[in-house]
């Protein structure tokens, strides 16, 4: 389980972009988003760094 805090994820549009970004890295990934706490949990065989890099490129750098 990969866990990130994304401080810049503040609205529904942000959740959509984060979800699409995760799916682009691993279409089979299981994703849980908790918007109020800015938390994202990803279950994937891919390395966490792959997701962290892609999310940062979209403007949602993990804290």
Position 6 scores a pLDDT of 98
Q: What percent of the chain has pLDDT over 90?
A: 100
Whether 13 is in a domain gets the answer yes
Whether 10 is in a domain gets the answer yes
Whether 62 is in a domain gets the answer no
Whether 27 is in a domain gets the answer yes
Q: What percent of the chain has pLDDT over 70?
A: 100
Average pLDDT rounded to a whole number, residues 38-54: 97
Mean of per-residue pLDDT scores for the chain: 97
pLDDT band for 27, please (50, 70, 90 cuts): very high
In 3-31, which positions are buried (b, 16+ CB within 10 angstroms) versus exposed (e)? ebebeebeeeebbebbeebbeebbeebeb
Position 55 scores a pLDDT of 98
Whole-model pTM over 0.75: yes
Residue 51: domain span: 2-57
Whether 50 is in a domain gets the answer yes
């Amino acid at each position: 389980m990969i866990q990130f805090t994304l401080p810049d994820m503040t609205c529904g549009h942000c959740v959509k972009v984060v979800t699409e970004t995760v799916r682009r890295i691993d279409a089979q990934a299981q994703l849980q988003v908790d918007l109020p706490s800015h938390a994202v949990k990803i279950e994937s065989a891919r390395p966490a760094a792959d997701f962290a890099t892609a999310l940062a490129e979209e403007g949602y750098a993990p804290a």
